[in-house]
A and B are shown apart, each in its own frame.
Chain A
């Protein structure tokens, strides 16, 4: 009887289920459209119009990309412009934080009390980046900062200076400081990844007499590739969005001569510092950042959310990224 009653009610319950899904779905879609889709569309729209509201085509893009704040290769000395600075940041920060995190994860694997050490390293990750930026300012103070004072004691007097007062030391100091703040992320993700590799593989390698390096190269590294993909993607996204650490450690102008200026800071200045406001130029930078972010995030989402992509696509997207990053 119950079964028959169930059959009778099934069509109604299916409708009710659809209704229920819609009831849950519609508010989310409404909020998504209101708070994400509309602002993004409005930003892209704004980037193609002049301040007076007239269609400007790609003029704003041309103006921003030809702005010396964006790319400045007129001199061999810093600054080089925000786009180049972001690229420098990526080229140094990404490999350093990735491999330091991997090294720590592997080293601390069998160490007693590793959890405490990992927690201490991970503290940098949970510290707000604004606070991190301010800490860096103190670390680089020539009188009380541990970095210049320490280097002075080691006899490196050329670096026993106020790091935030000179273009090169400012940019590279911030990059190194951010490695300290971000390494905890890659270490934790790699630590989790290492535990997923079956122990049998390592035991077999041991029996076969493989060296540690060979074991790492042939077993650990290949099996950690999905983890590496996640770390690389998340780090790249973070590097593109860099803002708080720079504004806290330097200033809204990107520090001395703009040596630590980055894209997000440039966008902030266009939109919220300069008078009159340059919303259209800010929208251009925001659009460029969104585009770059989507290209990178798209690869990860395709891989993680949609499963392994078809071979051809994999060749273009994930494979391209891997080749680019040599992973």
Chain B
């Protein structure tokens, strides 16, 4: 009774077995405690047994992948050869970092030791006490005047400028222009005629200019119009927030130039900018407004076939947007000294010379000669001559302005007649 009975002549039958409840319970508690102890013990052991952070290499977070990453790695290798400090490069989109880093910082941690980020983010991180001061590490005298202003709070420097990208204007293929007898325009009227002619030459509508998506491409185009037809002063005032987007002078730039051009029907609807490289190279579109990094994109198989022109200038309005790649060192870096050493190196002439040698970038450090550039980049560098260099407007202002600016410009591209609403909404976020 109550015991397992052996009715099959050997093994116990499951139907006959009646376990003793008390005994089962008596075993269960120690088992539960044992499992709980194991879980806690494993957790504590894992935490304690973590290798010291110093054993891991310094982590560099940058936005570049593919060919752009390949052009940056030799610079980091040069740094390691020079200093003996190892590094690990990881690609991280700045849009993602803008979300992730504040969470890291709130926990007094950082996923990178030296991070490339937008100037507005770095400035805010400095103000919030999350960025290490680079005063004395990065010298303002090594750059053109004002180059570090976007990453300064008072006199304290929280970031450094690496090489940068210029947004020079509209790229085209020499072979395509030669085949159709097109020339870069010298007047606004010629620009309109060129778009019409390209649209005729390529089958299908809206094929003259490829508009890139996401919104930062539209932002770059718009800034180019403002810098050219509103002038550098207007661009700087809009960046500083001292001029309203609804001001008549600003509205005129849109109403007299950008909007009529969009309404002419020669611009594509915003399309993915990455697939845009291939589409532009395949001559599905005649012109592509893009930054100078286009020269090292994988889809561009022969950068010597690339040409670029800026919008025909209005008298006295000479400005061009140049966006340096800014970096900073979080206060919570586990390799603080190494990261500062790298910061110092990246701001130096040797590092930037190594970078520009691979194409797609322009140096910010003084002393880099135009003869150091590959041919196509030297052409881009020449476009800067005699023009006032302007900071990237949306990068400098940061979110929430950037997000609103981009989405409103998409709205303008979709329906140019909504200009006044678009400007009001941008102004509300400025």
Residues in A with CB closer than 8 Å to B36 are 27
* A167-B411 in contact given A269-B400, A275-B120 (Cβ < 8 Å): yes
* A165-B213 in contact given A9-B22, A275-B399, A277-B102 (Cβ < 8 Å): yes
Within the assembled complex, what's the spacing in Å between the Cα atoms of A227 and B267?
50
Task: Please name 24 pairs of A and B residues whose Cβ atoms are closer than 8 Å in the assembled complex, sorted by A.
Answer: A2-B2, A9-B22, A13-B22, A16-B25, A24-B32, A68-B428, A75-B421, A141-B272, A165-B213, A165-B270, A165-B271, A167-B411, A251-B403, A251-B406, A251-B407, A254-B407, A256-B410, A257-B411, A269-B399, A273-B98, A273-B399, A273-B403, A275-B124, A275-B400
User: Taking the complex as formed, is B367 at the interface, i.e. its CB lies under 8 A from any CB of chain A?
Assistant: no
Residues in A with CB closer than 8 Å to B425 are 68
Residues in A with CB closer than 8 Å to B418 are 77, 257
B271/A257 in contact, CB under 8 A: no
Within 8 A of A (CB), among B102-158: 102, 120-121, 124
User: Taking the complex as formed, is A238 at the interface, i.e. its CB lies under 8 A from any CB of chain B?
Assistant: no
A235 to chain B, nearest CB (A): 28
Q: Which of A166, A251, A275 contacts B215 (CB 8 A)?
A: A251
A162/B29 in contact, CB under 8 A: no
Q: Which of A166, A253, A275 contacts B414 (CB 8 A)?
A: A166
Q: Please count how many residues in chain B sit with their CB below 8 Å of the partner chain's CB atoms.
A: 44
B1/A2 in contact, CB under 8 A: yes
Residues in A with CB closer than 8 Å to B385 are none
Residues in B with CB closer than 8 Å to A9 are 22
A253/B215 in contact, CB under 8 A: yes
User: Taking the complex as formed, is B95 at the interface, i.e. its CB lies under 8 A from any CB of chain A?
Assistant: yes
Q: Please count how many residues in chain A sit with their CB below 8 Å of the partner chain's CB atoms.
A: 38
A23/B411 in contact, CB under 8 A: no
A276/B124 in contact, CB under 8 A: yes
Q: Mark A115-151, 1 if CB is under 8 A from B, else 0.
A: 0000000000000000000000100011100000000
* A256-B98 in contact given A23-B32, A273-B400 (Cβ < 8 Å): no
User: Taking the complex as formed, is B73 at the interface, i.e. its CB lies under 8 A from any CB of chain A?
Assistant: no
Within 8 A of B (CB), among A239-254: 251-254
Q: Which of A20, A24, A167, A275 contacts B121 (CB 8 A)?
A: A275
Most chain B beta carbons < 10 A, residue from A162, A254, A256, A258: A256
Residues in A with CB closer than 8 Å to B398 are 275
Residues in A with CB closer than 8 Å to B22 are 9, 13, 16
User: Taking the complex as formed, is A291 at the interface, i.e. its CB lies under 8 A from any CB of chain B?
Assistant: no
Kindly report which residue of chain B lies nearest to residue A144, judged by CB atoms. B275
Within the assembled complex, what's the spacing in Å between the Cα atoms of A318 and B120?
51
Q: Mark B183-204, 1 if CB is under 8 A from A, else 0.
A: 0000000000000000000000
How many pairs of residues, A versus B, come closer than 8 Å at their CB atoms?
A: 101
* A253-B407 in contact given A23-B32, A142-B269 (Cβ < 8 Å): yes
Kindly report which residue of chain B lies nearest to residue A167, judged by CB atoms. B414
User: Taking the complex as formed, is A274 at the interface, i.e. its CB lies under 8 A from any CB of chain B?
Assistant: yes
User: Taking the complex as formed, is A272 at the interface, i.e. its CB lies under 8 A from any CB of chain B?
Assistant: yes
Within the assembled complex, what's the spacing in Å between the Cα atoms of A66 and B216?
28
Main secondary structure of the interface of B (DSSP, over half): helix
Residues in A with CB closer than 8 Å to B102 are 272, 277
Within the assembled complex, what's the spacing in Å between the Cα atoms of A269 and B279?
32
* 4 closest cross-chain pairs (CB), A and B: A257-B411, A165-B269, A162-B269, A256-B410
Residues in A with CB closer than 8 Å to B95 are 252
Residues in B with CB closer than 8 Å to A272 are 98-99, 102
User: Taking the complex as formed, is A255 at the interface, i.e. its CB lies under 8 A from any CB of chain B?
Assistant: yes
Most chain A beta carbons < 10 A, residue from B25, B269, B406, B408: B269
Kindly report which residue of chain B lies nearest to residue A162, judged by CB atoms. B269
A293 to chain B, nearest CB (A): 23
* A13-B400 in contact given A2-B2, A251-B214, A275-B120 (Cβ < 8 Å): no
Kindly report which residue of chain B lies nearest to residue A16, judged by CB atoms. B25
User: Taking the complex as formed, is A174 at the interface, i.e. its CB lies under 8 A from any CB of chain B?
Assistant: no
Kindly report which residue of chain B lies nearest to residue A168, judged by CB atoms. B414
Residues in A with CB closer than 8 Å to B2 are 2
Residues in A with CB closer than 8 Å to B269 are 142, 161-162, 165-166
Kindly report which residue of chain A lies nearest to residue B125, judged by CB atoms. A275
Residues in B with CB closer than 8 Å to A274 are 399-400, 403
A202 to chain B, nearest CB (A): 42
User: Taking the complex as formed, is B413 at the interface, i.e. its CB lies under 8 A from any CB of chain A?
Assistant: yes
Q: Which of A20, A142, A164, A257 contacts B407 (CB 8 A)?
A: A257
A238 to chain B, nearest CB (A): 23
Within the assembled complex, what's the spacing in Å between the Cα atoms of A256 and B215?
9
Residues in A with CB closer than 8 Å to B268 are 162
Within the assembled complex, what's the spacing in Å between the Cα atoms of A186 and B272?
34
A20/B403 in contact, CB under 8 A: no
Residues in A with CB closer than 8 Å to B120 are 275
Q: Which of B25, B124, B400, B414 contacts A256 (CB 8 A)?
A: B414
A141/B400 in contact, CB under 8 A: no
Residues in A with CB closer than 8 Å to B215 are 251, 253
A253/B404 in contact, CB under 8 A: yes
User: Taking the complex as formed, is B180 at the interface, i.e. its CB lies under 8 A from any CB of chain A?
Assistant: no
B403/A252 in contact, CB under 8 A: yes
A165/B403 in contact, CB under 8 A: no
A165/B124 in contact, CB under 8 A: no
A218 to chain B, nearest CB (A): 49
Residues in A with CB closer than 8 Å to B21 are 13
Q: Which of B25, B272, B404, B421 contacts A20 (CB 8 A)?
A: B25
Most chain A beta carbons < 10 A, residue from B21, B400, B414: B414
Residues in B with CB closer than 8 Å to A253 are 215, 403-404, 406-407
Residues in A with CB closer than 8 Å to B413 are 165, 256
Within the assembled complex, what's the spacing in Å between the Cα atoms of A255 and B414?
11
Within the assembled complex, what's the spacing in Å between the Cα atoms of A217 and B221?
59
Within 8 A of A (CB), among B273-327: 279, 284
